[in-house]
Amino acid sequence: MTPLNELITDENNIAFHPMMGNSYQLNSIGKEILQMLQQSHSKEQIVDHLYHTYGVEKSTLFIDVSDFISKLKIYGLYQ
């Protein structure tokens, strides 16, 4: 199991990694992105979903989702 799939999220948008003992504060969109990544959605699928849900420009969403994924990589949670 990958570190990303070991993360547990709660109703307060906290993601907890039990093996590492680390927790991460997310906003509701971050939690949504994380859950979609855990379900093996591609970056493009996530951007499309967020575009249709929130109506934000796709170019902005692409940058924001890419930045979120980069942060997951920095923390060793995503490859």
pLDDT computed for residue 79 by the predictor: 87
* 15 close to 71: Cβ distance less than 8 angstroms: no
Nearest Cα to 22, choosing from 36, 34, 8?
8
What is the residue-averaged pLDDT of the chain?
A: 96
- For residue 24, give the 3-state DSSP assignment: strand
pLDDT band with cut points at 50, 70 and 90 for residue 5: very high
The pLDDT tens digits for 57-73 are 999 999 999 999 999 99
CA torsion sign for 15, 20, 21, 24 is negative
Which pLDDT belongs to residue 32?
97
What lies within 8 Å, CB to CB, of 75 at 6+ separation is 22, 24
Domain boundaries, the chain: 3-74
When pLDDT is cut at 50, 70 and 90, the band that residue 17 belongs to is very high
